[in-house]
Amino acid sequence: MTRQLGVIGHPVAHSLSPVFQGAALRHCGLDIRYEAWDTPHADLRMRVDALRESGVIGANVTIPHKESVVPLLDELEPQARAIGAVNTITNRDGRLEGSNTDGPGLVRALDQEAGFAVSGSSMLVLGAGGAARGIVHALAAAGARDMSIANRSPARAEALAAEVATAGHDTTVEAVAYPASPSGFDCIINTTSVGMLGTGTEGQSPCDVRLASPGALAVDIVYAPEVTRFLADATAAGLRTLPGLPMLIYQGALAFERWTGHEAPVGVMFEAARSELARRAGEHATPSS
Ligand code: ATR
């Protein structure tokens, strides 16, 4: 019998997960279907309960449900508990386990795609929203030496810095003013939506990354457009860059490995995601009449 996986979100039609997870499952010859499960808030409990059925392996969770699913699960991994958000659910014989692979996915993308070791490094994180939260906890868990958090609303940066500082890691964490000076850091990560397609901030950058120290790595978790203003400025200034797609792929790869026990075919996942993004870009460029 074909077993099931899916992504729970609302809206979820544009999620890339069915595209690259489906490609990975087919590549590995697994008889598992990965679907988009559009779930308005009123249906969330029913949808999550249905994951306990024996033919269901688990699910990804995306906007806006990453926090609201937490009380509906039976167990939480420590990292998911610390950040109060789940992006991966695994059905273990009817018991639902929640984990969060978003931050660890970025740490793995930094290592595999940029050759950057978080351990011992000095990090600047721009933004203090949901995405930043998962990332700063993962960076601290991966042994970052120090971390500065800059956010447009300073109170959120301060609250996040205080939260990570008390999470029991060796990382020194502080909130700094926004916009931040990127000078003196090994790595600068944009977790804000500034520069993202459809936000009205395309063409803007969350900091003047051209002032970063030579050799620094500039990372944007925004993947549409593929090259944001932040990344273009970084490249023009001779910095190394990592775009947003690798974090998306590696969070999926970690979930895939958790569900299936197979090593994720990361190259296949990248290829499927890139060709879908190119297809969508072509669609936008074509007059719809
Ligand atoms: P996510 O879960 O994607 O992180 P979020 O929790 O809404 O979404 O957080 C969005 C982040 O982008 C926040 O850090 C937000 O800053 P505020 O906390 O001040 O709202 C940041 N952000 C969004 N639009 C911004 C803008 N125009 N300029 C600067 N920061 C912006």
Q: pLDDT category, 289, cuts 50, 70, 90?
A: very low
Report which of 136, 78, 221, 106 is spatially closest to residue 86, judged by C-alpha positions: 78
- Around Cβ 13, how many Cβ atoms within 10 Å? 9
- pLDDT band per the 50, 70, 90 thresholds, residue 287: low
DSSP reduced 3-state for 106: helix
191 CA distance to ligand 1 centroid (A)?
Answer: 8
Name the active-site residue from 3, 47, 66, 258.
66
- Confidence grade of residue 288 (pLDDT, cut at 50, 70, 90): very low
DSSP strands (E only) in 139-247: 146-150, 172-176, 187-190, 217-220, 240-242
3-state helix, strand, coil in the chain (%, to 5): 40, 20, 40
For 255, the enclosing helix (H) or strand (E) is helix 245-260
- The Å distance, Cα 63 to ligand 1 centre, comes to 14
Looking from the CA of residue 201, the nearest atom of ligand 1 is: 27
Q: Whose CA is nearest to atom 11 of ligand 1?
A: 192
- Structure token pair of residue 83: 């950040």
Would you say residue 146 has pLDDT above 80?
yes
Q: What's the rounded Cα separation, in Å, for the pair 6 and 208?
A: 39
Q: Give the separation between CA 163 and CA 256, rounded to whole angstroms.
A: 29
Q: What's the 51 CA to ligand 1 centre distance in angstroms?
A: 31
Q: Which of 63, 192, 194, 199 to mutate to test the pocket of ligand 1 (most atoms within 8 A of CB)?
A: 192
CA–CA separation, 2 and 13 (whole Å): 22
User: For ligand 1, which residues put their CB under 6 angstroms from it?
Assistant: 127-132, 151-153, 156, 191-194, 201, 206
Ligand 1: which atom is nearest the Cα of residue 66?
A: 2
Global pTM value? 0.95
Ligand 1 midpoint to CA 40 (Å): 23
Farthest CA pair distance, the chain: 58
DSSP SS3 for 5: strand
pLDDT of residue 245: 97
User: Which residue would you say has higher pLDDT here, 30 or 282?
Assistant: 30
Q: Which atom of ligand 1 is nearest to the CA of 63?
A: 2
Report yes or no: 64 and 130 within 8 Å, Cβ to Cβ: no
Strand arrangement of the beta sheet that strand 122-126 belongs to? 172-176, 146-150, 122-126, 187-190, 217-220, 240-242
Q: Closest Cα partner for 108 from 2, 225, 212, 263?
A: 263
Nearest CA to ligand 1 atom 21: 192
Q: List all residues 6 or more positions away from 27 whose beta carbon is below 8 Å from its beta carbon.
A: 265, 268
32 is catalytic: no
Nearest to 67 by CA among 78, 81, 57: 81
Cα of 158 to ligand 1 centre, how many Å? 14
**For the segment 24-39, what is each residue's pLDDT rounded down to a tens digit?**
999 999 999 999 999 9
Chain-centre distance of CA 14, in angstroms? Answer: 16
Residue 228 binned pLDDT confidence (cut-offs 50, 70, 90): very high
User: Which numbered atom of ligand 1 lies nearest the CA of 132?
Assistant: 4
Residues 31-75: tens digit of each pLDDT: 999 999 999 999 999 999 999 999 999 999 999 999 999 999 999
- Give, as one character, the DSSP assignment of residue 93: T
Give the pLDDT score at 267. 98
Q: Which of 193, 220, 247 to mutate to test the pocket of ligand 1 (most atoms within 8 A of CB)?
A: 193
Average pLDDT along the chain:
96
